[in-house]
Structure 1
Amino acid sequence: MDSKEQQHDSEDSSALQASPDAPSSEKQQDDSQPPNGGFMAWLQVAGAWTIMFNVLGLLNSYGQFQNIYETDLLKNESASTIAWIGSTQFLVCYLVCIFTGPLLDTGHLHLLLGIGTVVMVFGLMMVSLCHSYYQFFLAQTLVTGIGFGLIFLPASSVVSQWFSTRTPLAIGISVSGSSIGAIIYPIMLERLTGQIGFPWTVRIIGFMTLGTMLFAAAVMRVRVGKNPRKRKVIDLRHFKDKLYLIACLSFFVNFLGLYVFYYFISLYAIEVAGTDQSLANYLLPILNAGSFFGRLIPNWLAGRYGLMNVQIIFGIISGALAFALLGIKTTGGVVAFTVIYGFVSAPYVSLPIPIVTSLSPDKSVWATRLGMSFAIIGFGALIGSPVAGAIIGDNDNRNWTGMIVWCGVMFFASTAILTTVRTMKVGFKLFVKV
């Protein structure tokens, strides 16, 4: 580690210790400095990348499941009813993180990875046998969602333990796995369902997740020492830290609008831009392809110029881009919008993790705090898309303008709230890395 990195580490450490609103019971763990690189550290990134490939890759692919359910398996159900399978799966995954956080803080990494993998694969296999709505909801939303939640938090938390100044970049690389998964899985569903049928397509996906998760379980290791102290599942004392609380509020508001375009951009392209159905089916993979670079470049910039600084800038750009869709009425324009939106909105998935840990002075509760913040984010993901769907309305009177304004306002409101956190931490200084 060079002298500049040591200087940054010391500044970050002093800033964390100076947090005046942290719960008084928390004590700074003076662990040795993380290696900030090396073979074992990057193995954790590889393992976390694999988990993100499966969890967020499949969660962000639900739009393709929605198309299959609407046109075939659940064609007697309304589109909004079917959408609850995917949006509630997000919530279940993020809520489970409340319980996995304390377990991870006490050192039970491989217990979570093992049980989570079994539950996730079992849920996917059960999806392949479903025929009615309640069966899909139980198997895909509840069982698979619980499996996702058990393995998602370890991927988010463990990487932070192995890096200091490179934490944003390392997390960005690991979260980029979600973009690749969300490209591959929808294309698999699109291509294989017509050739071998939906049940065997889902079974193949289940076997893929099993094989890749065996790799993740083999390489991932907890670095921060075990803390045997019993933890509350929900410890409200953490919300006494005003910076942490307001940052969680910012993430919640953003997720009210973030995934709306994931669900509705294909429909917008067909109805407003006159896009061909076959091309519209590939807009979700195109969006996720754009998000791949959006997980990497902004996170690299955040390591150099500050986490919140970069997040605020990309939040402003995302809000402006959302409003720009009001004037886009052609297929080429929608495709360009989809790529750019995937890029500029991606930091809202990758940067909240290092932002939360940077606001948490006690490393031994990082997983607990991440779990609580994920639960808050989950409610935003649950509410946002159904609200947007209600704004859009039925086939006879679509309100696309209202939906677009909803997303743009959520981005700007979230950015304003995060700017408040930054101001509370460092004042009105502009050129400060924070």
Structure 2
Amino acid sequence: MPPRPDLEKSCAPLPDPSGIPTYPEGGARAWLVVLGAWCGLTASIGLYNTTGVFSVIISNTILTSSSSTSTGWIFSIYAFMVWIVEYYQIFLAFSLLTGLGSSLLLTPSMACVAHWFDARRGLASGIAWTGGGVGGVLFPLLIQGLLPHLGWAWCIRITGFILLFLCLISILLCRSRIPPLTRKDATSPWRATLPDYHIFLDGTGAMAFTTLGVLFVDLAYFIPITYLPSYYLSRQNLPTSSTISGSAAFGYQLLAILNAASCFGRLISGSLGDHFGHYNTMIISLFLCVVSIFALWLPDIVTTSSDSPVLLIIFVIIFGFVSGSNVSLTPICLGQLCGVGDYGRYYASCYTVVAFGVLVSLPAAGAILDICGGRGRKGSKGDFWGVAVLTGGCYVVALGCFVWVRGRVIG
């Protein structure tokens, strides 16, 4: 039996029917597109990476009577769409409007880079994705500095003005270059980019298992960045009244440290993926995520004899680096399964599935947190062991999916 082709070769972008034989691979116009994508990802993913700050403020100072499961729906609906003092107001403003806006900004920002780079796509995408890490550093520190002095309303207004500025730059600079493929059943180019379940039935299982892997990557990634500040408050036995000041400020800084580390992970993994294969790099990063969860975060949770945050800080740095890399690599791995003109359809098909899965991630994590700590009680760092196990388990499943796709094609 002849050997099956290597994934990195067999899944390389197909020749594009648009008649454009080469990609610029650089130049002023191409790098301006990367800058526009960077601004778009700073606004969308940067805010996404700041949900832990919003979670601890909303849970401990605004919706104090709501359970972890209830407040989890606010942020899972936000992730689903990305993908005020009353619950419904926060739900509508943050979950629905912000989530939908982030989605409309995120997808074009990622896709347009692929129109200008092929051989250097990992590097260009990695640079663009560092915007999410920069935003994840900027917004937590901004909120930490403004909230005690200006209050919730003006803190959110100033954040909104910064987002508006970033969005305007992204809109001005992001440009497509290759028209989408037109399906036989499509009556317009727009319809050609709609989700298509036939993609999952290609006979190899590559798209189906890649999508399943991406689903569990997003399930796992969103939990720590949401619960990390809350975990720090519980770990240090800090009262909810210190949420926005005093010793609790380090909880905000932990999230900033995680996102800063993710910038380096996204940049380095993109370049490594170009040289050693994006699926290979993805598998390594997922394995390191599993190790960081079970060898660093879980021991910090279950160890009751030490109040030193050293182990937690080590976990935050390592997890930020490796999780940032696997988040930025998922769109590139999807791009290897299709041509650039067909990318919108593949991306939409994948993330339609992923969005519905992420929808239940934080409510599930919140329910586990309530159960492990006793329903209605939030206060001990040991309550978070179930959340850590859930996160690590999701990464294990994601790792298995990507290993299966790699092994399936290699034989």
Answering whether residue 314 of structure 2 is matched by residue 332 of structure 1, we say no
Say if 1:413 and 1:391 are closer, same or farther in 2 by CA, change over 3 A.
same
Answering whether residue 383 of structure 2 is matched by residue 383 of structure 1, we say no
Q: Report if aligned partners of 2:195, 2:346 keep a CA contact under 8 Å in 1.
A: no
Say if 1:169 and 1:17 are closer, same or farther in 2 by CA, change over 3 A.
closer
Task: Give the distance between the partners of 1:13 and 1:335, measured in 2 at CA.
Answer: 35
Q: Report if aligned partners of 2:285, 2:325 keep a CA contact under 8 Å in 1.
A: yes
Q: Secondary structure at the match of 1:216?
A: helix
Q: Secondary structure at the match of 1:35?
A: coil
TM-score, normalised to structure 1's length? Answer: 0.80
Task: Give the distance between the partners of 2:363 and 2:107, measured in 1 at CA.
Answer: 25
Match of residue 224, structure 2, among 238, 261, 265 = 261
Task: Give the distance between the partners of 2:146 and 2:120, measured in 1 at CA.
Answer: 39
Q: Report if aligned partners of 2:180, 2:342 keep a CA contact under 8 Å in 1.
A: no
2:395 aligns to what?
A: 411
Map 1:204-283 to 2 at 5 A: 204-225=158-179, 229=186, 230=188, 231=191, 233-241=194-202, 242-272=205-235, 276-283=247-254
Q: Report if aligned partners of 2:52, 2:230 keep a CA contact under 8 Å in 1.
A: no
Q: How far apart are 1:77 and its partner, in Å?
A: 2.8
More RCO (CA 8 Å, sep 6+): 2
Alpha-carbon displacement from aligned partner over 1:56-86 (angstroms, at most 9, x marks no partner): 1111111111222223333333333222111
Partner AA of 1:34 in structure 2: Y
Alpha-carbon displacement from aligned partner over 1:352-372 (angstroms, at most 9, x marks no partner): 111101111x33220121122
Alpha-carbon displacement from aligned partner over 1:222-260 (angstroms, at most 9, x marks no partner): 110355653263311111232111100111122222222
Q: How far apart are 1:317 and its partner, in Å?
A: 1.1
Partner AA of 1:343 in structure 2: F
Map 1:18-417 to 2 at 5 A: 29-94=18-83, 130-225=84-179, 229=186, 230=188, 231=191, 233-241=194-202, 242-272=205-235, 276-324=247-295, 325-328=297-300, 329=303, 330-360=308-338, 362-393=339-370, 394=373, 395=377, 398-417=382-401
Say if 1:280 and 1:131 are closer, same or farther in 2 by CA, change over 3 A.
closer
Task: Give the distance between the partners of 2:177 and 2:394, measured in 1 at CA.
Answer: 37
Say if 1:287 and 1:131 are closer, same or farther in 2 by CA, change over 3 A.
same
Q: Report if aligned partners of 2:69, 2:366 keep a CA contact under 8 Å in 1.
A: yes
Partner AA of 1:182 in structure 2: G
Task: Give the distance between the partners of 2:335 and 2:266, measured in 1 at CA.
Answer: 18
Aligned residue-pair number: 375
2:241 aligns to what?
A: none
Say if 1:235 and 1:27 are closer, same or farther in 2 by CA, change over 3 A.
farther
Say if 1:355 and 1:203 are closer, same or farther in 2 by CA, change over 3 A.
same
Q: Report if aligned partners of 1:59, 1:86 keep a CA contact under 8 Å in 2.
A: no
Flag structure 2 segments of 5+ consecutive residues without an equivalent.
1-5, 239-246
Give the superposed CA RMSD. 2.4
Flag structure 1 segments of 5+ consecutive residues without an equivalent.
1-10, 20-25, 95-129, 428-434
